Chain A
């Protein structure tokens, strides 16, 4: 049974006639990583997390079922144990003065016993590579550290699904590497991840499937190679550099192998052509 089911989801913001989401349907399996592209992706994430309809007004139709719970039928605190959401700007998700205070914040709100909090805090902070940081002041951390602390704060609540809405948008390249390194480790552990991210070089190797939203509808839902093959002529989609190169050369040279999405695959696929041409 999928851990996340979306059935005919339609959402319209107040005062607007055109729906942001129109009849969106898809499933996410446990342990899968789904990357979302296109328009209204943040709106979709808010629906998955339950912020719509509980916090954000508008007209919502259809269903979102998270680990067996219908989002519109349960309270948001109950959903918080099932789905954790990490927002774009980590400054807006670290509320406490110390990192430790932030990591335990969600657990405190849920009434987790104190002894259990200490263990879960330690576990979450070790997982994100911030072990020993609990006494550090949140505003002193680097961008990458702040975002990792945000992830730790969400992981400490032990959600079934982790949703990340452009988690590296405000980060420098080093911070971006740190966050994606963390996500790769989480995926290896079997965490279900839904991610909105505009950095194709990092997302493509991570995602099991990619979803493209256009005009509020699901236009493409496919594994990365098939996804890029289907959207190759879409000027609004950014490709991993090796994929872009491969697709550009595909019409002009006989290229072996499948579409590469990582640098290593690109070397393997395009290497022979390069050596033929250049030597």
Chain B
């Protein structure tokens, strides 16, 4: 079914019109892996800020990048692609010794992919502000919800005293990734990577 100009369901998915599993051919899988590697590279620039925020307990910069890139992967390649972007990252970060606590992010990253999938499925055009903002809001809220058990059960933190920090994280992780993601999707479309 040909899409009208400016209207897409999943922009790059040629193999499957359904967001689940999405595009799971070689191109979909390899592209997802490469987006994950790009994410690892970009996270270098997040390191200083996140170390300042309690050694990575309340990542801000890393969250901005992960929400952006995982959202990008899911919206381009579907749920499986998004999960590849999300979960290859922590595994590689651990395997290359760049972040030994990265495995904690396996679930939290996968949750972002699920958010992107659920939100993207409700919009005809994912390359739009309503879609990306809805996704970043959903991802930010879900991440706070997931980090509370992590902080409480694993790190034994008094979560009630952390509310200001959660609020600060959420405040930044909604608008900034939305701007980045919308920009990236637009650039990718204009660069001709979109397939009908």
Contact = CB atoms under 8 A, between A and B. Distances in A.
A14 B14 CA distance: 13
A14 B195 CA distance: 10
Contacts of B195: 57
Q: Determine chain A's interface SS by DSSP, over half rule.
A: loop
Contacts of B14: 57
Measured as residues with beta carbon below 8 angstroms from the partner, the interface class of chain B is: under 10
Q: Determine chain B's interface SS by DSSP, over half rule.
A: loop
Contacts, number: 3
A57 B27 CA distance: 13
3 contacts: A14-B196, A57-B14, A57-B195
Interface of B: 14, 195-196
A57 B194 CA distance: 13
Contacts of B196: 14
Contacts of A14: 196
Interface string A55-98: 00100000000000000000000000000000000000000000
Contacts of A57: 14, 195
Nearest to A14: B196
A57 B14 CA distance: 10
A212 to B, nearest CB: 29
A57 B195 CA distance: 10
A14 B194 CA distance: 12
B28 to A, nearest CB: 12
Nearest to B192: A15
A254 B195 CA distance: 59
A193 to B, nearest CB: 26
A57 B15 CA distance: 11
A14 B196 CA distance: 10
